Structure 1
Amino acid sequence: MSGTTEPELTAVILAAGLGSRMGALHGPKGLLEVGGRVLLEHQMRVLAACGVARIVVVTGHQADRVEAAAAGLGLRTDIPVACARNPGFADTGTAMSALIGLRAAAPGDALLLEGDTLLTAPSIIDAIGDRTEIRTLTDRRARWEQGSKILTDGDGRVSDWLHSRHQGPGFSPEDATKTVNLTYLPAVGRSRLERVLAAAVCDLKAPLEFAFRDLALAGARIWAIEMAGRAWCEIDDPDDLARARAMPAFRDPPASTGWVAFQTSEPGAPPAL
């Protein structure tokens, strides 16, 4: 044996948003309950199961509540957790939150995950792959749904990354695949993305997808990794939340994990620990 080990992997969870499409449930989506656990807990648990050594949570809206939940979850699971605030969350896009989170993370490889997305461990492990190139999860079955789309060449390499603003009247999702909001970044790819993000945030409202598009169009090797029918859910509105709560993959977390659900009561109140 060589005695060498792979560098530790950091996950950055983007959880600064307003949750404005959630109607009466308006607030941090990371504190919404699914299957007896808040979304943030689901995410931290599955990331730890995939070998993530530390987590950075980017906060903004109701930051105190989200940070209290993240700190409590870190203590319960022995996962080092740090929080990085986006002070301009109400006036900036996800590109700014991603840049803040990556700059707060330890050097090395990173996973970038949006805070409203639930995934299972096999999909995340597929995204990590052999830890040599940028890999992003996609789902061709969901290509007709709203949201960002990806175009690939015949080998699965990303040729374009299309935010909804880039999907004009002539665009058809038929040949596209939908993004699933988790991307693996080896250290070199992460450094390249950070440089692109630093330029992208000159437009304060720029979404993260703009930076990924710039990378793809500049010739970066980014691979689309299909979900292969595995369960996932992006929670944008109350209908999505109901769908996530009905999915067996997220309904009944294993009791053997020792995780305890947070009860998030009144908006503005910290979770009960």
Structure 2
Amino acid sequence: MDAVIIAAGFGSRLRDLSDSKPLTPVAGIPLIELGVLQARAAGVERVTVVTGHEAARVEQFLADLSRRTGVEVHAQRVADWSQPNGFSVIAGANRVAQMGGSDFLLMMADHIFSAEILSRLAQVGAPDRGVTLATDLRVDSPLVDPDDATWVKTDGHGRITAIGKHLTDYDVVDCGAFLATPELPEAIAAAISAGKPGSLSDGMQALADKGRAATMEIAGAWWLDVDDPRAHALAEAEAPSRLVLLYR
């Protein structure tokens, strides 16, 4: 199984703590390394990290990470990191395809997950879907930032009908982890061609409109979007007891 971790953005809300979001430490471990750790614990054999802002620093770290851990980690630099995150998804998926892969776990560098979420997600692929999104019913959880969350409306049977940051009618929240097939980058590319900005949500909505976007409810498992100092403090307090912090 491949994983793609999106780590290209600027990370403006964490600038007071770090000038590189992927290299921001939590429990003494950079966020991007925590992502690789959890992916490895979930059975991922190869990780592609899409870089952009501070790319040279992040790529140097990734090369060292791969050497010292034995995890196969590849960097794929996106052409313009200021573009919407769908461009990073396309870049990462293209690298996976070049290496002979197909489906992949898709993660955001600033989201951290208990390994069980990723382990379960890696097993839920099926011919009737082009993407599966990990979602949480706990929309009022204190761990969720309502000003930055991506909200999801489902049909009540595990299929996405609408997704976006500005939804007012929703029943679950996007956890930032996906099991993607090549249909997802293809849908993003088609959305761009149709004049959309090119966000990941643009591709997700396109697949939802075709009935090809499913959800996996995480059933109370732990996750956190480490996007600002408040969330970082929560991560510092909880990550050591929630995450795999050793390679195995």
Q: With structure 2 as the length reference, what TM-score do the two structures score?
A: 0.87
Q: Does the alignment pair 1:142 with 2:133?
A: no
**Between the two proteins, what is the percent identity of the paired residues?**
29
1:17 and 1:89 in contact (8 A); partners too: yes
Q: Distance in 1 between matches of 2:124 and 2:107?
A: 19
Tell me the SS of whatever aligns to 1:160: strand
Gaps of 5+ in 1: 1-8, 259-273
Q: Give CA-to-partner distance per residue, 1:125-175, whole Å, 9 cap, x none.
A: 1212243243211112135723211111222122222x224x2xxx244xx
- In the other structure, the counterpart of 1:17 is 9
1:18 and 1:26 in contact (8 A); partners too: no
Tell me the SS of whatever aligns to 1:199: helix
Residue of structure 2 aligned with 1:225, choices 205, 216, 233: 216
Tell me the SS of whatever aligns to 2:152: strand
2:160 and 2:211 in contact (8 A); partners too: no
Tell which deviates more after alignment, 129-138 or 245-254.
245-254
What is the 5 A alignment of 1:1-273? Answer: 9-90=1-82, 92-105=83-96, 106=99, 107-132=101-126, 133=129, 134-142=131-139, 145-146=146-147, 147-161=149-163, 163-165=164-166, 167=167, 171-173=168-170, 176-185=171-180, 190-202=181-193, 205-220=197-212, 222-249=213-240, 254=245, 257=247
Q: Which amino acid aligns with 2:136?
A: D
Q: Distance in 1 between matches of 2:42 and 2:124?
A: 13
Q: Structure 1 residues 22 and 204 mapped into 2: Cα distance closer, same or farther (>3 Å)?
A: farther
Number of matched residues?
236
Gaps of 5+ in 2: none
Q: Distance in 2 between matches of 1:233 and 1:38?
A: 15
Tell me the C-alpha RMSD between the 2 structures.
Answer: 2.1
Q: Give CA-to-partner distance per residue, 1:12-37, whole Å, 9 cap, x none.
A: 00000000112422532111111111
Q: Which amino acid aligns with 1:164?
A: K
2:154 and 2:161 in contact (8 A); partners too: yes
1:59 and 1:66 in contact (8 A); partners too: yes
Tell me the SS of whatever aligns to 1:236: coil
Q: With structure 1 as the length reference, what TM-score do the two structures score?
A: 0.80
